[in-house]
Amino acid sequence: MPSCLFCEATTLTRGYIFPGWTIADFPQTSYTSRQIRETHGISKSSKQFAECEVSIVCGSCYSGWMNRIEDRARPILRPLINGIEPPLLTANNQRRLAVWACLRAYIVEAVDRTRAKYSTRNERGAFAANHRRIPPDNTIVWLARLLGPEHRGGDICGSKRKVLVTHTSTVDALQACNFYIGKVAFQILQWRGNTVRVGNHDPADASFLLRNWNARVIEIWPNHFKPGATLPEPLTARESEAFFNRLRSPGHANLSEARVVIHCP
């Protein structure tokens, strides 16, 4: 019998893949979703997002600690989605955004039933029980700004449309997730063990991943963007595609990849 993604409960509740409050920012009831698995050449289209609900968590988790994560992140995240200057990105606010991004990564990972999960039940249980509300160990979260409706390039294109892109990649004990939603992007890197490499680098020393970005991408966990500093300029179309793919490398040529693109027509 299926059980909750985060606990042992077997009575599951239906909920949106992304939180219901974002429907106010993506107001259509139906969006086109395209899923691509590059290693298998599969491409599927379906209607998802606002009308797409899944039963993977119990009511206690959904309306309890998960709802509190949403409530804490929403006042900071909603302005970013809409391209409005957010409240000051204090260290605490950056942590709240990072925790929200990690929660979404678990949800998106679970919805993709075409591949094995990166996370373990113990890891997800520890995340749910972590009352300090910090991202898991061996996790880095970056944030970037996007041009939004004017953005064109790759799978996120179109005039006068809001865009949500989710992308997950796994190889060995490493997972990378990208969320492009409105005018903000999150990138989450998680790994397990001491032998995992991003290219030839130890992911624990991730400073190399900010090279050549000229402060266009900021790290919000574990190292915080300096509170009060000017937010980076939005990524160009070319830069956003490079950001999307920057965790891929020749050493990961056989990376198992699933990409979900959800956009407003």
Q: What is the pLDDT of residues 4-33, one digit of tens each?
A: 999 999 999 988 777 778 766 765 544 444
Residue at 28 is within a domain: yes
Residue at 6 is within a domain: no
For residues 204 and 90, the model is more confident at 90
110, 56 Cβ separation under 8 angstroms: yes
Q: For residue 77, what pLDDT band results from cuts at 50, 70 and 90?
A: very high
pLDDT at position 173 is 74
pTM over 0.75, yes/no: yes
224 DSSP assignment: P
Residue at 227 is within a domain: yes
With 90 as the cut, is the pLDDT of residue 50 above it? no
148 DSSP assignment: G
Express as a percent the part of the chain with pLDDT over 70: 70
Q: How many domains would you assign to the chain?
A: 1
Range of the domain at 154: 12-263
With 50 as the cut, is the pLDDT of residue 105 above it? yes
With 60 as the cut, is the pLDDT of residue 154 above it? no
Residue at 1 is within a domain: no
